[in-house]
Amino acid sequence: MAAKFGTSGLRGLVGDLTDGTAAAHARAFARHLKSSALAENGSPVYIARDMRASSPDIAAQCAAALAAEDLIPVDCGVIPTPALALYAMGKGAAALMVTGSHIPDDRNGVKFYRPDGEIDKNDEAAISALAAQPSATTNPLPNAIANEAAQALSGFIARYRGFAPDRGFSGLRIGLYEHSSAASDALAMVLEEAGAEVTRLGKSQAFVPVDTEAVSGETRSLASGWVREHRLDGLVSADGDGDRPLVVDETGSVIRGDALGLMVARHLNADAVVTPVTSNSGIEQHCDADVTRTRVGSPFVIAGMQAALKDRRRRVIGFEANGGVLTGNPINSGAAMLEALPTRDSVLPILCAFAAARAQGQSLSTHVASLDLPVAASDRIENFPTSRSQALVVRLSGDETACAAFFAEIGEVASIDRTDGLRVTLGDGRIVHLRPSGNAPEMRVYSEATDEAAAQVLIEDTMALIKSTAEA
């Protein structure tokens, strides 16, 4: 079983999932649910998927595996991950999402949800152990299963009804880059109900791996071109399973995910914010809430949110540098009452970005500038073996002399943060962060500097050093 759990669910090459590995993990999930008294024989498990070519097959294998364990799989079709989670939680049931999120089409994955939300690291360990045990061959489902895709999607759209009262987005021209995102229909309907004029663009029948954290040059070029061509007030999109947003301002510039998260926290008057160490270092200074930093990955953010809830915080917000936002409490906004949704969602940050800017009578770009955050950038080295990236980070983290020598061409190392990967603050205040991806063979590189050009140069120089070291 080459597939394994990463920062968000089980991930691997398609062949490493369709060979029975995805089904084995689905059976293990079923056993874990029953042994933990979270389900019993005859309980429903809701299943949805993204638009990858392999997702229908993997979803069918998982459904058969659940049925073999005497649970009842219910098909929710192609809908966003947060829509599936919201629907299943409302039913008090578990769920399973077949998606590889933003990674290429030759890979895929499975996300697992207990009746109360995402599984945690302890659940992952239990499921992995059970999946490794021998089990009987899973046969295909003998009958068609119930389909509740329409109900799940309509419930998700209803969640945001009234967020912008009295069609509060009237007059806004918003582009929607559809590509192959499971969230495209939901985003269009939510924004149109809020009064915006939505221009749908770039729909693709083939899967397009849009990464909202390390946005590609091709995606940036497409988005900025559409913004100019259609004279848009902004453009939005989401990744493959719709839990990470992409927002482009009226100038064609991409708004970073951590800036979106900060806008949500401010707009909803959060009293506690939980975000990974990779998010912008200026968040603490520009947010009234208490801020907790974690390792990268929704399980760690959720654990931090649960701690805040135990401290009786009333408006707990979690977000990641990719822009996905989680809510820990029921929170009202406008005429909407947003039920707690402790899993990444792309719709809430998109709505908050436009609502916050409009409340101040500002464009998106002006509002983002008013946040006065340090300038940050991020990128990735693709097809970089995980073992190699992990070895480099371990070596530099454990040897200050080696770390200083590695970064000598860039600047003097002033301090090191080992919370997740290697985060280095240089003597002039610039920050560079190396982190092996938990989902794909990639090295993620983050930076902060005084301006965008300097932040990008720092990324490029660091990536060049990594590549040269790997080739040596």
Which helix (H) or strand (E) segment holds residue 235: the answer is strand 234-238
End-of-domain residue from the set 305, 337, 371: 371
Residue 153 falls inside a structural domain? no
Residue 154 falls inside a structural domain? no
Query: Which residue carries 């669910």 as its tokens?
Result: 9
Examine the domain organization and report whether 362 and 399 are in the same domain.
Answer: no
* CA pair distance 196, 48, nearest whole angstrom: 28
Examine the domain organization and report whether 396 and 431 are in the same domain.
Answer: yes
101 is catalytic: yes
Q: ∠ CA 376-382-386 to the nearest 5 degrees?
A: 100
Contact present, 346 and 245 (Cβ < 8 Å): yes
Return the structure tokens found at 269. Answer: 């008057």
> Range of 275's domain?
160-371
Question: 75 forms bridges with which residues in the sheet?
Answer: 47, 147
Helices of type H across 326-399 = 347-359, 364-371, 386-398
In this structure, is the dihedral angle defined by the CA atoms of residues 243, 347, 445 and 263, taken in order, positive or negative?
negative
Helices of type H across 194-250 = 217-230
> Judging by beta carbons within 10 Å of its beta carbon (0-12, 13-18, 19+), is residue 400 exposed, middle or buried?
exposed
Residue 422 falls inside a structural domain? yes
Q: Give the single-character DSSP code of 326.
A: E
pLDDT at 66 (0 to 100): 97
pLDDT at 472 (0 to 100): 56
Examine the domain organization and report whether 360 and 386 are in the same domain.
Answer: no
Residue 164 falls inside a structural domain? yes
* CA pair distance 322, 215, nearest whole angstrom: 10
Spatial CA neighbour of 341 closest among 99, 98, 84, 101: 84
Examine the domain organization and report whether 435 and 453 are in the same domain.
Answer: yes
End-of-domain residue from the set 371, 394, 424: 371
Residue 53 falls inside a structural domain? yes
Return the biggest CA–CA distance within the chain. 65
Contact present, 382 and 269 (Cβ < 8 Å): no
Residue 29 falls inside a structural domain? yes
Examine the domain organization and report whether 271 and 308 are in the same domain.
Answer: yes
Residue 237 falls inside a structural domain? yes
> Judging by beta carbons within 10 Å of its beta carbon (0-12, 13-18, 19+), is residue 151 exposed, middle or buried?
middle
From the candidates 54, 55, 101, 346, which is the catalytic residue? 101
Examine the domain organization and report whether 209 and 139 are in the same domain.
Answer: no
CATH number of the domain within which 383 lies: 3.30.310.50
Examine the domain organization and report whether 89 and 29 are in the same domain.
Answer: yes
Query: Which residue carries 């990719």 as its tokens?
Result: 322
Domains contained in the chain, number: 3
List the end-to-end C-alpha distance of the chain, in Å, as a whole number: 32
Which helix (H) or strand (E) segment holds residue 130: the answer is helix 121-131
Examine the domain organization and report whether 301 and 315 are in the same domain.
Answer: yes
Examine the domain organization and report whether 318 and 396 are in the same domain.
Answer: no
pLDDT tens series, the chain, 472 aa: 477 887 778 999 999 999 999 999 999 999 999 999 999 999 999 999 999 999 999 999 999 999 999 999 999 999 999 999 999 999 999 999 999 988 889 999 999 999 999 999 999 999 999 999 887 667 788 788 999 999 999 999 999 999 999 999 999 999 999 999 999 999 999 999 999 999 999 999 999 999 988 889 999 999 999 999 999 999 999 999 999 999 999 999 999 999 999 999 999 999 999 999 999 999 999 999 999 999 988 899 999 999 999 999 999 999 998 999 999 999 999 999 999 999 999 999 999 999 999 999 999 999 999 999 998 888 889 889 888 999 999 999 999 999 999 999 999 999 999 999 999 999 999 999 999 987 678 899 999 998 989 999 999 999 999 998 876 5
3-state secondary structure (DSSP) of residue 196 = coil
Task: Give the number of other Cβ atoms within 10 Å of residue 134's Cβ.
Answer: 5
Q: Give the single-character DSSP code of 270.
A: -
Task: Give the number of other Cβ atoms within 10 Å of residue 282's Cβ.
Answer: 18
The CA-atom distances, in angstroms, between 227 and each of 183, 247, 329, 354, 364 are 20, 11, 35, 15, 13
Examine the domain organization and report whether 383 and 313 are in the same domain.
Answer: no
Examine the domain organization and report whether 329 and 406 are in the same domain.
Answer: no
End-of-domain residue from the set 331, 353, 371: 371
Q: Give the single-character DSSP code of 147.
A: B
Examine the domain organization and report whether 200 and 344 are in the same domain.
Answer: yes
Residues in Cβ contact with 412 at an 8 Å cutoff, skipping those fewer than 6 apart:
404, 426, 427
CATH number of the domain within which 10 lies: 3.40.120.10
pLDDT at 1 (0 to 100): 45
